[in-house]
Amino acid sequence: MSEQAIGVFDSGLGGLTAVKELIKVLPQENIIYFGDTARVPYGTRSDKTIRLYARQDADFLLSKGVKMIIAACGTVSSVATELYDTLPVPFTGVVYPTATAAVKATRNGKIGIIGTSATVKSCSYKKEILSQNERIKVYQQDCPLFVPLVENGFISADDDIVKLVVERYLSEMKAEGIDTLILGCTHFPIIAQAISDYLGKNVTLIDSGKETALYAANILGSRGLLNSSSTLGSCTYYVSDTVDGFRKTADLFLGRNVEQEAVHLSLDKLTKKS
């Protein structure tokens, strides 16, 4: 079983930032990624719909025989919490490992959280932080414009549009004096430089993809499921909408050139068990 792939899913391609970190931490592991690009975004959907989509995504990865599933999506991790107890393989979202890292990182006890509307509404990160340290002050802000900015290529820290949107969303947190900020959506690390430039070098940014990759490595290691191969693992990509332009978009999120195209998975196949 140790040679089986790790399954990763997200509502779109933002979860590839988590794949990027997985490749760094566990280069020998095989990875199967599914991006539900036909139904993105999840962050504006009802909780019922998010849970349905998340289960369908997980079921698809299970059909590929994965040994672990990662929901590289703050929205799913915040809303579809039943996956922790109902999947037959180890599962993690991004909330617990990311919140834990933020609690360890803060020096003044002021942590900011940014994410999709659904993530912020759920208060999942806030609840997890306060369960670990009830004295911490938590500030939340949904940032719905960040995702379309990234997906349309507005990512430069010098771009006036990016700077304006960052200031619009983060001015109150900056005024409150946070020293730690959770990037609670896998799109957000792409504009981390712009965020850091605005908040200043004394504010630590917590990348949910990085922290989740480290956490996943610990889970696999503790269960004897790490791939012991000496060769580099492979990545296979599936998307539910057109594969046109996948390589260009994947290059952006992964930070490197991607040779292969994605495989199209029709929604009919994805939803046939529902």
Where are the chain's structural domains?
6-92+210-271, 95-208
Same fold, 6-92+210-271 and 95-208: yes
Average pLDDT over residues 169-179: 98
CATH number of 6-92+210-271: 3.40.50.1860
Predicted local confidence at residue 210, as pLDDT: 93
pLDDT (average), residues 261-267: 92
pLDDT in tens, 80-89: 999 999 999 9
Residue of 73, 123, 143, 235 with catalytic role: 73
Average pLDDT over residues 160-171: 98
Mean pLDDT of the chain: 94
Number of H helices, E strands in the chain: 13, 10
Q: Identity (one letter) of the amino acid at 159? A: D
Helix axes 16-25, 208-222, angle to 10 degrees: 50
Quickly state the pLDDT bin for 168 (edges 50, 70, 90): very high
Cα gap 139→190, rounded to integer Å: 22
| Residue 88 preceded by cis peptide, ω within 30 | no
What kind of architecture, by CATH, is found in domain 95-208? 3-Layer(aba) Sandwich (3.40)
Q: How confident is the model at residue 167 (pLDDT cuts 50, 70, 90)?
A: very high
The pLDDT assigned to 151 comes to 82
CB neighbours of residue 82 within 10 Å: 11
pLDDT in tens, 222-247: 999 999 888 999 999 999 999 988 88
The per-residue pLDDT for 230 is: 86
The candidate with the shortest Cα–Cα distance to 6, out of 27, 31, 34, is 31
Question: Would you say residue 274 has pLDDT above 80?
Answer: no
In this predicted model, what pLDDT tens digit does every residue of 187-227 receive, in sequence order?
899 999 999 999 999 999 999 999 999 999 999 999 999 99
Q: How confident is the model at residue 249 (pLDDT cuts 50, 70, 90)?
A: confident
For the segment 47-76, the average pLDDT, to the nearest whole number, is 96
Kindly state the average pLDDT of the residues 33-59.
94
Q: Does residue 156 surpass a pLDDT of 80?
A: yes
> Cβ(204)–Cβ(111) under 8 Å?
no
| pLDDT value of residue 73 | 92
For residue 271, the model assigns a pLDDT of 87
- 143: annotated active-site residue: no
185 counts as catalytic = yes
Q: What is the DSSP letter of 63?
A: H
Residue from 123, 143, 185, 235 carrying the catalytic annotation: 185
Task: Give the pLDDT band of residue 123 (cuts 50, 70, 90).
Answer: very high
pLDDT of residue 2: 84
